[in-house]
């Protein structure tokens, strides 16, 4: 049972990497360039959606590209 939990957690690591590292990095880079919103939507929301989806696809397919 513990093995299954660890296996699922490790399989979802790209998803967590997208949310916990790539999204905040993108928000900081965009803030450095003066972009605070895209189409009236806060950058945090946009970054979490984009990088959460990208990490989810990476978890599902097993690769980032």
Structural domain harbouring 31: 2-61
| Location of structure tokens 């599902």 | 60
Residue 43 to residue 26: CA distance in whole angstroms: 9
Do 26 and 47 meet the contact criterion of CB atoms below 8 Å apart?
yes
Residue 54 to residue 64: CA distance in whole angstroms: 8
User: Is the pTM for the entire model greater than 0.95?
Assistant: no
Total structural domains within the chain:
1
Q: Where are the beta strands (DSSP E) in the chain?
A: 37-38, 41-42
Length of the chain: 65
Kindly report, residue by residue over 9-47, the tens digit of the pLDDT. 888 889 999 999 999 999 999 999 999 998 999 999 999
């Amino acid at each position: 049972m513990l093995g299954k939990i660890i296996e699922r957690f490790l399989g979802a690591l790209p998803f967590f990497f997208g949310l916990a590292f790539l999204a905040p990095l993108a928000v900081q880079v965009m803030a450095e360039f003066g972009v605070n919103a895209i189409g009236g939507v806060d950058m945090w929301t946009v970054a979490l959606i984009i990088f959460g989806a990208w990490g989810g696809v990476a978890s599902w397919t097993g690769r980032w590209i």
